[in-house]
Structure 1
Amino acid sequence: MASTDLGTGAPVAAAELTAMRRALALALRGPASDPNPRVGCVLLGPDGEVRGEGWHRGAGTPHAEVAALADAAARGLPTEGATAVVTLEPCNHTGRTGPCSEALIAAGVARVVVSVDDPNPVASGGVERLRSAGVDVQTGVLTAEGRAVLGAWLPSVERGRPFVTLKIAMSLDGRIAAADGSSRWITSEVSRHHAHDLRAEVDAIAVGTGTALVDDPSLTARNAAGELHGHQPLRVVVGHRDVPADARLRGPGGELVHLRTHDPAQVLAELHARDVRHVLVEGGPTLAAAFVRAGLVDELHAYVAPVLLGSGPSAMADLGVVSIGDAVRLTTRSVIPLGPDVLVVATIDPPSPTEEP
């Protein structure tokens, strides 16, 4: 059987690579918005045949490895001597569920193939525990694909704060509203549907009090028919002014959280304490600039419409840029046509190192 050596442990067999791709596809069945990661697992017999499959269905449910073991049991297939192919290092701690490392050991699994090491210090250590029990472990298999499936969860855990996506919807000349304040609608219906799908994948949406008072948004995630998605993110208002009692933010949708601060770092700390992994900052320009100045934007989604306004509020407030050398530079990751509009997905480049005199 063909094999490839991709890291520690015995070489990876072709059947294990196929199983890892299947495990990654299974992982994507899990909820995009959840404190826990999307994980998939496939159990293989000695000849590479599938004995069980599983994925994590959300916080409080069995982890992917345990689900795969249960699937094997339901099929009446043994797990003794099996290989577990899993997208994330098996956990080694007891939370709402027990350690997956111990479950695999108890099931007699002989080998474990892992895509991504778990960066969470609370849950990591599964590889060491498995090896100490005599289980052969191969790590680093299809790691890029594994990281992509984990999405915002992975950098959130690595950085100890929510992953921040800054969303801007603007005219071609960088305006978010006309001179009279009207802004519905600069972008197309196609773009708005896309933005609602993004809302349905995040844990929280944040706006400043200015946007809350002027635009009176509902900050809900809706489908094309205008119905609420099953998952509704937290609705976060940042600033000191009160949210009116009759505001749409108090209507149907996610929980309203009012954070009376102007400090983006404090906002993220409070959301992290609520197990928020991914926050979408939607505005307005003052809040957007505050997050950019603080260096706390991980990804920018700019919906750009082929519209010229010439005046009106700009998409970004003052960033303190005096000369072109001070400009905040970004790297474009993708450009997606959305009807007449385009979505530019970009990341902010790190500042250039200061040259020594």
Structure 2
Amino acid sequence: MSSKLAKSGTTRALGAMSGTSLDGVDVAVLETDGQRIRGFGVSGYHPYSEAEREVLRAALGLWHGPEVEAATKVTQAAHLQALSGVEGIDLVGFHGQTLAHAPRLQGTLQVGDGAALAEALKLPVVWDFRSDDVAMGGEGAPLAPFFHFACAKYIEATGPICFLNLGGVGNLTYVDPRFERPEDLGALLAFDTGPANAPINDLMQARLGLPYDAEGRIASNGTVEAGALELFLAEPYFAQMPPKSLDRNDFSEMIGLVKELSDADAMATLTAMCAASVAQGMEHCPERPSTVLVTGGGRRNPVLMQMLEVSLDCPVQTIEEVGLDGDMLEAQAFAYLAVRVARGLPTSAPGTTGVSACVGGGIVSQPEPE
């Protein structure tokens, strides 16, 4: 291993994340020893063009073929551009772009070549974070919970709190910071709550040619269709015990439940479905958390935030209210996980993905010596 992958001390890692909302690539620098957060560095955002977004969208749910190859090229080029030019970096955490996720069937597919990125960037790159977890019987998702644990320590939380990420899919992490390590039994419980922004974004694109419902403006003028919401909550997934995970398109039939509704009523109903699935998920928490900290694009939707405040029995805050960056949290998470992989520390546990034992997934690719 190179000196850039030292086994102790603080490492300056650059993480990248491109989520299922397909908006772009987030990159962020984190200073960490793989356990505690030591500091935050610069961050950046590389948006996908509409043409690139179409290529990625066409490959969603596919495992191979020309659409997947095209999506891989878009992913690789966008990440190289987003990651280039950041100074003083020791290693890179590269998640890639998830196209398909079926851990009990085909597995999980994140496209992008970390070895090629290592050569292009002349830096060690940690990638393919999910495959080992799936191979050991885990869901392969969510992976941010170990970082959420570090965040809870960083903000000096004294009791249980929840992190709620509302991206394409919603996921919830229950953190008990009274434990010493994230892998300790009882320290974490994590799972996907249900669909979040993905169905809203897809319907906005299909009906209005817009990528998302900005500030919930369309939904704010609509009425929730109670019958559609009831049918949605009858899905067996919500009764399933965690850990559990979803693919972006697992609830694509939601669109069918609102197809006869007006634009405003459809958006209001899809937004209510997201909030209701979170409320269902909260019932799995071992203790009532002191607060729910919301991250991801959903926190910018005031209609969704209001619905969460009404349906959850604890305070709901955006993550910025405790001094963290909701736009960059997942990119920071993969910087953190990259350091853990490089140091042989676990990145998931039975309580986060249902894996049979704690596992540190990921490949470390080194650039060829010059």
Q: TM-score scaled to structure 2, two decimals? A: 0.29
Provide TM-score, normalisation by structure 1: 0.30
Higher helix share: 2
Q: Which has the larger radius of gyration?
A: 1
